[in-house]
Amino acid sequence: MEISQVLANQFNIRPQYAENLISLIDEGCTIPFIARYRKEMHGSQDDQTIREFVDRLKFLRNLNERKTEVSRLLTEQGNMTPELQKQIDDAITLTEIEDIYRPFRPKRKTRASVAIAAGLQPLADAILKQDNDNLVDLATPYVNSEKGINSVSEALAGASDIIAEIVADDPECRKALRPLYWTRASINAEWREDKDERKVYENYKDFHQIIKHLPAYRVLALNRGEKEDALKVYFSFDRASLEKIFITIFKQFVKGNNEAFMPEFDEHSKLKLPKSVDFTTMSASALIAYACVDGYTRLLDPSLEREFRAELTDNANEQSIKMFELNLKPLLMQPPLKGKTIMAVDPAYRTGCKIAVIDPSGKVLDTGVVYPTPPQNKVDEAIQILSAMIIKNDVDTIAIGNGTASKESEIFVVKLIKSMAPRKLQYAMVNESGASVYSASKLGAKEFPQYDVSIRSAVSIARRLQDPLAELIKIDPKSLGVGQYQHDMPQKRLSEVLDGVVENSVNTVGVDLNTASVALLTHVSGLNAGIAAEIEKYRDQHHGFHDRKELLDVNKLGAKAYEQCAGFLRIPNGKNILDNTAVHPESYPAVEKLLVHFNLTSEDIKNNSLTTLPQRIEKEGVSKVAEICGVGEPTLLDIVGELLKPGRDIRDTLPQPVLRSELLGLADLSVGMDLDGVVRNVIDFGAFVDVGVHTDGMVHISEISDDYIKHPSEVLTVGDRVRVRVIGVDLQKNRLSLSIKKADKD
């Protein structure tokens, strides 16, 4: 079946849509461009679906490449048969392909390869037929001291080694055992207390759980504990499961009564293998049964355990990356705090609090250092300095980083605000994760060469409150503190997914072509760092852009890049009002036809006089109007939406940042209190909520909803405003437990 048809079936879309998507991707179109401006070609699939489509396309192409490679290898080896070729053609996973190739894969020196080199393969084949139980007669012709086979027993032992490897490599046997592993294998952990001084993994002492029910975060915790040598991790089965496994294997290879050959187990369900075996007294079936047990315990079980550990890890990684992706999007899409002059306080103890003031455009107005925190405790001096700075720069809002000394800094800021009454000031706690990474980066040094790293960090904190997206894209997403085990993830895959989130967020919002930083422009569809730098150079030389068409005059920005980027770049107050919308220049003629058809002008767009346009279009018929304009219906509806609100920022519809003027501490809380909070992180077993006490409270998944949910992300996202009830306060451990479902309920 063609890849396009497979994808059409998997994504439940028309085959033509699948073919179109593949063509667009192969032409070098970006996902934001495809999702926004080629809706008619794929049935208006959203950005996330198209990304999943691309991932699946890559997988299927890699699968086909591996099929071709395995077919070539088997043919060159002289092992290809029509049956093998059909199995390869019918395979739908890489595991199936590798199982087919496994028996023919060149191996390092093994007991079986030594026996084969000694000429014992025909003996093993004869025993497998099980039509002659006189093994001594069968093996005698293979005794050859020159080949290292000095007795019948050695010949039979070598044949057993060959059969054991055949069992371990058999595709059907492995396929039959996988469901048993998935439903019956238990993963176990033994805590090595002497290797875990901080007792991080104490909860995994004598841990065991069926792998089917193992959540992703536990897989990753076990892996990390094993890597740090604090845990010993292994698989095990109960006796009934082991018996089921051996019966399954015996059915593949042993004729007769399979249960008669069942091995013995000790009281811990461990195999009791004989120390010595006399193959000369065995029947063919008994020798094969022994080889099955040997092949399973020595080769097949370790191989399947490695395979399942890898699969569990891959699945856990993918789930954690998905969780990171879900958390990152709302973090980046937090609404900006527009029109405010912001003073940032980057807290510290000994070195003092670094101060930076920025205007509503992000320009740095003032900087400084004050020492209101221990050990200096120069509170009065700090109030005097910052009061003057606030009045001088007409500051509206104070942003406080939530790192070291943030509690003491918040206490000071509240005192500062009270000292300046009746002047109205508010403050917000800002997550400073990654701020130090930015301040020490080449980008930070390039943007603010005149400041040291600590002042750059303060500027970043202020700008995070002012425009989170524009500032956070300057930092590696892995440093933003909204994931789990991010440093244990496959870094290439994690970066690929998170870069996709950044790309989607930037292009969903749109970018001001005349003010955006090079870092922000780099994430625009069709652009890269080199072109972004050329855009900055062009606007500096020409005092900004006045028309989107000017992009074609930018060095290195060709027609293809222009097609991909133009619709996502905005020019407020440009020559053409459409340049401040998401309408793509290729659709400008369609807009002209639409306006002419309804006797409207561009002035009507500027004056917001198109409120009745949707009703007029609906009355006449969307399909008819779309045909008149020369576009598809989805494009027409998108155009109308942009004309109704030119220059809109989609983030403005979201809840604004939480601003405070009063102080609340963990000691001020008691069980039963109801509070308002903001979701800071969503993880597999719950969510962390900021209620303004410097310690994010934990809402366990069982306390999120009265309805059953499989995962917290079903009802919560980063940035959500929630009402919570305090259900536990531990001052000694600095822990806060919260409930959403109990809030405001008696």
Structure tokens at 339: 């029109």
d(CA 526, CA 563): 8
Query: How confident is the model over 533-579, as pLDDT tens digits?
Result: 999 999 999 999 999 999 999 999 999 999 999 999 999 989 999 99
pTM reported for the whole predicted model: 0.82
Q: What is the DSSP string of 391-416?
A: HHHT--EEEEE-STTHHHHHHHHHHH
**Residue 273: both structure tokens together:** 């293998």
Please state, as a whole number, how many other Cβ atoms lie within 10 Å of the Cβ of residue 261.
Answer: 20
Residue 479 in this model has a pLDDT that exceeds 90: no
- pLDDT band (50, 70, 90) for residue 663: low
Taking the C-alpha atoms of residue 511 and residue 558, their distance in angstroms, rounded to an integer, is 19
Please tell me whether the peptide bond between 375 and the residue prior to it is cis, using omega within 30 degrees of 0.
Answer: yes
Quickly state the pLDDT bin for 695 (edges 50, 70, 90).
Answer: confident
Run of H or E including 681: strand 674-683
- C-beta separation of 578 from 510 below 8 A: no
Does the pLDDT value for residue 329 go beyond 70? Answer: yes
Query: By C-alpha distance, which of 482, 566, 650 is closest to 472?
Result: 482
Decide: 683 and 217 in contact? Cβ < 8 Å: yes
pLDDT tens profile 151-200: 999 999 999 999 999 999 999 999 999 999 999 999 999 999 999 988 99
Top pLDDT among 5 and 434 is at: 5
pLDDT digits (tens, 9 = 90+) for 266-322: 777 778 878 888 999 999 999 999 999 999 999 999 999 999 999 999 999 999 998
Write down the residue that tokens 């999120």 correspond to: 704
Q: Residue 729 pairs with which residues in a beta bridge? A: 736
For the record, the structure tokens of 397 come out as 């809002």
Residue range 576-594: mean pLDDT, rounded? 96
* Beta partners for residue 235, in sequence order: 187
Residue 593 near residue 570, CB atoms below 8 Å:
no
Residue with tokens 């909860």: 203
Token pair recorded at residue 4: 């396009």
Whole-angstrom distance, CA of residue 159 vs CA of residue 128: 10
8 A C-beta contact, residue 176 and residue 253: no
Nearest to 153 by CA among 143, 163, 167, 164: 143
Report the distance separating Cα 382 and Cα 418, nearest Å. 14
Distance (Å, rounded) from C-alpha 13 to C-alpha 36? Answer: 18
What is the per-residue pLDDT across 10-41, written as a single tens digit (0 to 9) for each? 999 999 999 999 999 999 999 999 999 999 99
> Do residues 681 and 650 make contact, with C-beta atoms less than 8 angstroms apart?
no
**Pair type for strands 697-700 and 721-730:** unpaired
Q: How far apart are CA 395 and CA 462, in angstroms?
A: 12
Backbone angles phi, psi at 186, to 5 degrees: -110, 135
Q: How far apart are CA 183 and CA 238, in angstroms?
A: 12
Average pLDDT over residues 366-382: 96
Any residues with CB less than 8 A from the CB of 68 and at least 6 apart, and which? none
Residues 6+ apart with CB under 8 A from 286: 261
Query: What one-character DSSP code corresponds to residue 74?
Result: H
CA angle at 715 for the pair 712 and 717, rounded to the nearest 5°: 80
Instruction: Determine the Cα angle at 149 with ends 145 and 153, to 5°.
Output: 135
> CB within 8 A of 9, min separation 6: which ones?
none
- Euclidean distance between CA atoms 523 and 520, whole angstroms: 6
- Residue bearing tokens 């279009």: 617
CA distance 514 to 579: 12
Average pLDDT score over the chain: 92
List of residues 6+ apart from 468 with CB closer than 8 A: 331, 332, 333, 334, 336
Helix H or strand E segment including 210: strand 207-210
Structure tokens at 693: 């006490």
